[in-house]
Each structure stands twice: as structure tokens, then as C-alpha cells.
Chain A
Amino acid sequence: MKILVTVKRVPDPDMKVRVNAEGTGIVEDNMKFVINPFDEIAVEEGLRIKEKKGEGEVVIVAIGPSVVQEQIRAALAMGADRGIHVDVDSYPDPLNTAKLLKAVAEKEAPNIVIMGKQAVDDDYGQAGQMLAAMLGWAQATFAYKVEIADDNSKATVTREVDGGLETIEIDLPAVVTADLRLNEPRYASLPGIMKAKTKPMDVFKPADLGVELSPVLELVRMEEPPPRKGGIIVETVDELLDKLRNEAKVI
């Protein structure tokens, strides 16, 4: 079983994001960067599938400048087998990301691609579905539970959708995108971190993959929304009810 997992480098979601003075991006000084949390869940799922099968390979792919190798190494430290870095100066939009991933998937021919349901920096939530369409594969987004058939020919995926949980069956190879409750990612162990340093990592340029990037989205400007103003502290339930009834008039 060959499992391809995508990881994006994003700012630590626990840190406050600030827009730079020019409004062209975020302030990166002193920011900590991590694997996109949904991708960390995707890595964990890949490892669990391999462990359950008792055989297989988990390959990590990240697109971005050379610093993304840190996140590839972090995934290798969790237990993944090798990495692929697609070297570009800046993060492409989801359509171009999917084009690069398609080329990688065609080269690697995995049984399954596991991705995050969204990158928590751009919050687009597109690349997985786009990749599945481009490959002509099935997609199962917002995965809550993934079960692979013994012969690796299909998977049963339960998805978090509006109003409940939906279960679908998909032929493999396919693209699955992880939701928050698919699993709890493991921490890298110290030996895992040591081992990760020597695991293989290939680097490709888009041209090596036969892909020419042509951006379809353009970021015009970024701004910080005006902060919502805080209100008052009330002392008692009676006071609260009075305010809600007579001041805010919402009940």
C-alpha cells in the first residue's frame, strides 16, 4: 500500500497573525510555523493505515520554498518513509497546487492520497477535490473514519457533513481529505526525530514535473478586520436579563 500525504507549512494556529504594513502578506518575524493541523491528521492516518496493513510506504509531499523541508522532516519524524519537496518561491493557488500534486501522483502511483480538508492559512479548502477531479479519481472529503478493504481496491469513508454523518464507498486510488476528528496525531519520538534526518527527500522544480504554473487567483490586498468591541460585565442574572430585554432587545 503506497500512501501519498500532502503537508503545507502554515503559521502556528495558536499564534496571533498580523498583516504587514503594505497589506501584501502577514508579518513572519517571530512566527512559528507548523504542519497544517489537518495535514498532521492526514499523516497520522497514513501511518495508521500502513501499520494496520503491516506493509506499505508513506510518502510526504510539500510544495513551497525550501523552508517547507522542515515540515517534511517533521512528518518523517512522526514515522513517514520519505519526502518530496516541490520547490517554488511562493505557495501557488489551489488550482496550481493541484496541478503540481497531479504530476507527483502520476509519478508515484499511490493507492491513496490523503490531504487536509483545508489549509488554515488561506482557508480555501479546494486542493483535494481539484486533485481528485484532475486524476479522474473519487474523492471523500471531511473524513471522520476511513476503512480500507483488505485487497486495497476500495475504501469506506464516513464524512462529516451538514446534518449528520454520511458514509460512502470509493474505489481506490482516491483522494481523501481529513477532518478534525479522524484521529489524534502522535508526537514524534526522539529516535523518530533522529531517524528523520537521514530519510530520503527528493526535490523537484515544477519544470521537472512538466508543469507550468499560471496563477488564477491574485491577492490584491490584506487587511485586519476592525476588532469587535467588548461590552460590559454584569453582576447578576437579573441584570443580564434586564439588559437583554430592555437594552439589546433580543429576547
Chain B
Amino acid sequence: MNVLIVAEVFKGAVRKASFSAITAGKELAEKSGGSFSILIMGKGIEGPAGELGKFGAASVLVADSDALEHYLAEPYAQVVAKVVQDKGFDAVLAAANTFGKDLLPRVAAKLNAGMISDITEVVEAGDEPVFRRPMYAGSVNATVKVKTKPFVASVRGTAFAKAEPGDGDSPKESVTVEIDGSLAGKQRFVKFDEAVSERPELTEAEIVVSGGRGVKSKENFKLIEDLADVLGAAVGASRAAVDSGFCPNDWQVGQTGKIVAPNLYFAIGISGAIQHVAGMKDSKVIVAINKDEEAPIFQIADYGIVADLFKVVPELIEKLKKLKAEG
């Protein structure tokens, strides 16, 4: 089958999550004996379009237009749906991040296509493709078949490695889509308040340090951030920590937040509710710091310390600093 992967541009570059979608799309194309193309949309996107030439795609389709300057669901969905129809793609994939989650179902409806969210495995790439995906906050692994052609799928980033660029240079093709303004004009971009951070992106980081309700205040949350900084880690949080205003929304890890799978994950003052665990259980090594020895987080942690975080975390920071100084 011929697979279309929709890549996302963020601040002038391809969003890293898109590289996992490329891996999944490539696998689907190879398993079914077809090929894959990559579509990129935006304004002034020669740079990221060039980046996308290095993954062995049959073509890189570039929709560069003023109307696509800011992401908005309707104009973007119009472009994707038109490209799929005109070029006869059988499958449309993108990352299961907020871009893909917002855009893809709208594309699916326009194509009257079935959509599978959050695929973690390509099981069969035949006439009626079959995928694996989590349900019920990861309590269930479901095997699901999609019966339409074309169909749509979003890709869970932690389940597919990021595609690595090679030597190739896929042909670029510019696509012009006449956007229906009567529909696209119904939504307007106003502003984006970025949660600026010097730290690595949560879903990319090798190490993630997360704090929960046990951290107790915004001021104390500094401690979590300090530990992250000595480790060069990203900062995450439980929903309770976010709801209590200790940290920004987009630090939330879990079923309804970010899905992460770093080499090392610290859960500090986090009880280990299933909705949180859903977002981090595929981490390679999990460390839990919690004063309650009954906390469910200890059932999945590789290393646990039953202690007061306000004692343990400062000591950890001190000792890590010393180790660092010693080289």
C-alpha cells in the first residue's frame, strides 16, 4: 500500500515526533510491498522540507502557502484529504501528539475513513490492516483491524524508533491546494504562549525527573527542577502536580498527557496511579522516591527509596554534583 506520512513543522524545523511516524509508515509500506511519501505543510518551509528528503521517501510533498502559516485543523485537513484523494494514498499516518490528535480525525471524517489512534505495532499490513494499540489507560492491549481504504492512524512515539536520516534525496513536489475559505475561515489563530524551557523536550529526553502532589508547592517543585538540571534531564509531573499549579500543563505525564520512555525515570512524591503509569511504564529504569512504602509506584519501580523526598532529593543533588565535579 502507498502510505502518506504527515510531518509537522515547529519553529522552522521538523518536530521530532514526526520521525517516529516516519518509521511506522516506512514499516507499513515495506510490509505491504508499497512505498511511502511525506507531506509537509506551512509557510516558508524549504528548510524542513529539505530535512525530510533524507529518509528514503518516494517523494516529499510540500504545501507552502500563506494560508498554512499557523496550524489550524480545517485548512490543514483540506490539504491532507485532497492529497490523499488526488494521489490515491491508502494510509495516512502522523504522530500521536497534539498536532496529529487534532488533525487526523478531521482528515479521517473528510475521507469517510476509519482511524486507529496510538498504534504501537503493525501486526498485519494486508488488505485489512491490523494494529496493536493500548486501551483503558494501558490496562489493555488491543488488536484492531481497520476496514476502510484509505485509513488513518496516529503513531505512539515511544513504540517506534526515530527514523535516522541517510544519504538519499527524495524528489520534492510542491502541491497547491485551493483552500475552501468558507470552511477554513471559521477558525483563526490568535496566539501561542510557549512554555519556554532550556531543558530537553520531555518526550525526547534520556532522563526524566517527575514530581507529584508529594512535592507540595510550586516553590518546592524547584527541587525537582534542580535534580533534573544536574542530570541534564527533562521535568515531568503527575496530573495532581499540574492541577495544583506546581508546574505547566504540558509537563503532565500519563494517559492524558505525554507518553515517555526514557532510559531513566524518577517518580518523586508520585503514588503511581494507573493513569500516570500509562505514560511512563515503558521507561528502561524507574526510580521511585516516596515516603509511603505501600505506594503502588513501588510495584513497578526498579529501585525504590522509602523516605521523605525533602531529605533524599537534596542529598541526591549534592552527591550528583560531587560526582560530576570528580568527572
> Could you list which residues of chain A lie within 8 angstroms of chain B, going by C-beta atoms?
11, 13, 16-17, 19, 26, 38, 93-95, 98, 117-118, 120-134, 136-142, 144, 156, 159-171, 174, 179-181, 215-225, 227-238, 240-241, 243-244, 248, 250-251
Report the bound CA distance from A234 to B289 in whole Å: 10
Report the bound CA distance from A244 to B186 in whole Å: 53
Q: Which residues of B contact A238 (CB under 8 A)?
A: 319
B304 at the interface (CB under 8 A from A): yes
Report the bound CA distance from A220 to B98 in whole Å: 27
Question: Would you give the 0/1 interface string for B246-272, flagging 1 where the beta carbon is closer than 8 Å to chain A?
Answer: 001110000110000001100000000
Query: In the complex the two chains form, is A241's CB within 8 Å of B186's CB?
Result: no
Query: Which residue of chain A has the shortest Cβ distance to B147 in the bound complex?
Result: A216
Report the bound CA distance from A120 to B87 in whole Å: 35
Query: In the complex the two chains form, is A222's CB within 8 Å of B140's CB?
Result: yes
B177 at the interface (CB under 8 A from A): no
Report the bound CA distance from A196 to B188 in whole Å: 39
B146 at the interface (CB under 8 A from A): yes
Q: Which residues of B contact A170 (CB under 8 A)?
A: 186-188
Query: In the complex the two chains form, is B73's CB within 8 Å of A228's CB?
Result: no
Q: Which residues of B contact A240 (CB under 8 A)?
A: 287, 303, 305, 316
Report the bound CA distance from A237 to B311 in whole Å: 10
B50 at the interface (CB under 8 A from A): no
Given A169-B187, A217-B145; A161-B303 close (CB under 8 Å): no
Report the bound CA distance from A224 to B312 in whole Å: 35
Question: Would you give the 0/1 interface string for B296-308, flagging 1 where the beta carbon is closer than 8 Å to chain A?
Answer: 0011111111100
Query: In the complex the two chains form, is B304's CB within 8 Å of A19's CB?
Result: no
Report the bound CA distance from A132 to B73 in whole Å: 10
Query: Which residue of chain B has the shortest Cβ distance to A121 in the bound complex?
Result: B136
Report the bound CA distance from A203 to B243 in whole Å: 37
Query: In the complex the two chains form, is A129's CB within 8 Å of B73's CB?
Result: yes
Query: In the complex the two chains form, is B323's CB within 8 Å of A233's CB?
Result: no
**Highest count of chain B CB atoms <10 Å: which of A124, A156, A174, A236:** A124
Top 5 A-B pairs, shortest CB-CB distance: A216-B114, A231-B302, A129-B105, A133-B109, A126-B105
Query: In the complex the two chains form, is A95's CB within 8 Å of B323's CB?
Result: no
Report the bound CA distance from A163 to B293 in whole Å: 35
Q: Which residues of B contact A139 (CB under 8 A)?
A: 73-74, 102, 106, 187
Query: Which residue of chain A has the shortest Cβ distance to B133 in the bound complex?
Result: A123
Query: In the complex the two chains form, is B239's CB within 8 Å of A180's CB?
Result: yes
Query: In the complex the two chains form, is B137's CB within 8 Å of A231's CB?
Result: no
Taking the closest CB of chain A, its distance from the CB of B145, in whole angstroms, is 4
Q: List 21 A-B contacts (CB under 8 A).
A: A11-B136, A13-B274, A17-B139, A95-B112, A123-B117, A126-B108, A138-B187, A141-B101, A162-B98, A164-B195, A167-B192, A217-B146, A219-B143, A222-B140, A225-B134, A237-B312, A237-B315, A240-B287, A240-B316, A244-B285, A248-B284
> Could you list which residues of chain B lie within 8 angstroms of chain A, going by C-beta atoms?
10, 15, 17, 72-74, 77, 97-99, 101-110, 112-118, 130, 134-148, 151, 183, 185-195, 207, 231, 239, 242-243, 248-250, 255-256, 263-264, 274-275, 281, 284-287, 293, 298-306, 312, 315-316, 319-320, 323
Taking the closest CB of chain B, its distance from the CB of A76, in whole angstroms, is 26
Report the bound CA distance from A168 to B186 in whole Å: 10
Q: Which residues of A contact B103 (CB under 8 A)?
A: 129
Q: Which residues of B contact A241 (CB under 8 A)?
A: 316, 319-320, 323
Contact of A230 among B109, B116, B190, B300 (CB under 8 A): B300
Query: In the complex the two chains form, is B105's CB within 8 Å of A94's CB?
Result: yes
Given A218-B145, A237-B305; A141-B102 close (CB under 8 Å): yes
Taking the closest CB of chain A, its distance from the CB of B235, in whole angstroms, is 14
Given A123-B135, A168-B189, A224-B141; A234-B146 close (CB under 8 Å): no
Q: Which residues of A contact B102 (CB under 8 A)?
A: 129, 139, 141-142, 161
Given A129-B106, A164-B250; A217-B319 close (CB under 8 Å): no
Q: Which residues of B contact A234 (CB under 8 A)?
A: 303-305
Q: Which residues of A contact B255 (CB under 8 A)?
A: 120, 123
Report the bound CA distance from A38 to B192 in whole Å: 24
Given A17-B140, A133-B106, A162-B99; A251-B116 close (CB under 8 Å): no
Query: Which residue of chain A has the shortest Cβ distance to B316 in the bound complex?
Result: A237
Query: In the complex the two chains form, is B144's CB within 8 Å of A217's CB?
Result: yes
Query: Which residue of chain B has the shortest Cβ distance to A184 in the bound complex?
Result: B243
Query: In the complex the two chains form, is A163's CB within 8 Å of B116's CB?
Result: no
Contact of A160 among B142, B189, B249, B315 (CB under 8 A): B249
Given A169-B187, A220-B130; A244-B135 close (CB under 8 Å): no
